[in-house]
Amino acid sequence: YYARTDEGSELGNIAGFFFANFAWVDNECNYQVADLFAVDIDLDTKRFVKAKLDDLSLNAKETMILLFFNTMAAQYVKLHAMANWGINVDESLANVNPFFRQSSVVTIMYNYFGYTSFNGFLKTWAKEGLVSPGRLKANKPLVQAFNHGIKNNVWQH
């Protein structure tokens, strides 16, 4: 959801972007859900104004980290899930449009392995020091965030 200030507002030309029921993984690698993540941007200067995660004020760096996390963990996985709506693997396509059928099969496999295998990369990445070993928790906090994003529909659009 987004909103903007009225023309001539004393606050300026500000747009507010609001993410309800916002899933994230904290610094201790725990899955969390905030009631509201709100970000204000000055539309004239294209600059960050302020942001809050529930009652916690955030700086620009923290805000960008959470926005990127949301893109990767909630929006990106939904985009792949929606790609499955446009596939057709029916055998009749093998002669009519083999490229479309092949692309459909590749999409299904890519989405399946991306969802089921991505968490497995974390073990190697943790071993190499690229991510915290806490990301390997048995409750799979990143997968929980993925699932939260998938179940949260596409209301942002």
pLDDT one-digit tens code per residue, 89-141 = 899 888 999 999 999 998 888 888 877 888 788 888 889 999 888 878 888 88
Q: What is the pLDDT of residue 50?
A: 97
What does pTM read for this prediction? 0.77
The tokens for 1 are 């959801």
The tokens for 23 are 């899933």
Q: What's the average model confidence in pLDDT over 61-80?
A: 86
User: In which band, very low, low, confident or very high, does the pLDDT at 85 lie, cut at 50, 70 and 90?
Assistant: confident
Q: What's the average model confidence in pLDDT over 66-86?
A: 82
Q: CB neighbours (10 Å) of residue 86?
A: 10
Q: What is the pLDDT of residue 52?
A: 98
The 3 state secondary structure assigned to the chain is: CEEECCCCCCCCCEEEEEEEEEEEECCCCCEEEEEEEEEEEECCCCEEEEEEECCEEECHHHHHHHHHHHHHHHHHHHHHHHHHHHCCCCCCHHHHCHHHHHHHHHHHHHHHHHHHHHHHHHHHHHHCCCCCHHHHCCCCHHHHHHHHHHHCCCCCC
Phi, psi of 49 (to 5 degrees): -105, -55
Q: What is the pLDDT of residue 63?
A: 97
Q: What's the average model confidence in pLDDT over 31-55?
A: 96
The residues, ordered by sequence, that sit 6+ positions from 69 with a Cβ below 8 Å of its Cβ are 24, 25, 145
Q: How many CA atoms lie within 13 A of 86 on its CB side?
A: 10
Q: What amino acid occupies position 132?
A: S
Whether the Cβ atoms of residue 89 and residue 104 lie closer than 8 Å to each other: yes
User: In which band, very low, low, confident or very high, does the pLDDT at 17 lie, cut at 50, 70 and 90?
Assistant: very high
Q: What is the pLDDT of residue 45?
A: 95
* pLDDT, the chain, mean: 88
User: In which band, very low, low, confident or very high, does the pLDDT at 32 lie, cut at 50, 70 and 90?
Assistant: very high
Q: What is the pLDDT of residue 156?
A: 53
Which of the two residues, 35 and 155, has the higher pLDDT score? 35
